[in-house]
């Protein structure tokens, strides 16, 4: 995983596990067979749980919040986002606050980190 793999399952995995892994990687997530996380690579256990929790929090964003989240993660300012999405500056500022609250972060850098970890924003 540290070398860039997006998923890992054992060759003896059930077909359902393979399907889950493929779907997760296709959606931009990382996938490690649950039994392997704690048994063979315990140092990934916290990252795996963290990514899953982050994915759930990002999925809780409304479509407009998600649009704003992506633009914030790319480094656009609130003013630039307002212009791009044809919204008022204060509206975007409110979205910014709501998104950071929902994702439990304080900075745009943390938003970018979440977006990159989940494959929403490419390196």
Per residue in 94-111, pLDDT tens? 999 999 999 888 988 888
- Residue 51: the pLDDT is 62
Residue 37 reports pLDDT greater than 60: no
> How much of the chain, in percent, has pLDDT values that exceed 90?
32
- Number of C-alpha atoms within 13 angstroms, CB side, residue 44? 21
The total of other beta-carbon atoms located within 10 Å of residue 7's CB is 17
Kindly state the average pLDDT of the residues 76-81: 95
Please give the helix or strand (H or E) that residue 19 lies within, else none. Answer: helix 15-26
pLDDT (0 to 100) of residue 35: 66
Give me the phi and psi of 32, to 5 degrees please: -130, 130
Domain ranges for the chain, please list them.
Answer: 1-59, 61-123
Q: What is the CATH number of domain 61-123?
A: 1.10.10.10
pTM above 0.85, yes or no: no
Per-residue pLDDT averaged across 14-41, rounded?
74
């Amino acid at each position: 995983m540290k070398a860039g793999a997006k998923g890992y399952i054992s060759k003896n995995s059930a077909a359902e596990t393979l399907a889950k892994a493929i779907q997760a990687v296709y959606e931009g997530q990382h996938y490690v067979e649950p039994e392997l996380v704690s048994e063979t690579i315990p140092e990934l256990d916290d990252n795996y749980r963290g990514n899953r929790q982050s994915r759930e929090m990002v999925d809780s964003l409304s479509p407009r919040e998600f649009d704003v989240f992506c633009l914030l993660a790319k480094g656009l300012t609130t003013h630039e986002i307002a212009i791009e999405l044809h919204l008022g500056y204060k509206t975007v500022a409110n979205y910014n606050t709501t998104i950071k609250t929902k994702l439990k972060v304080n900075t745009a850098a943390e938003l970018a980190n979440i977006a990159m970890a989940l494959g929403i924003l490419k390196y």
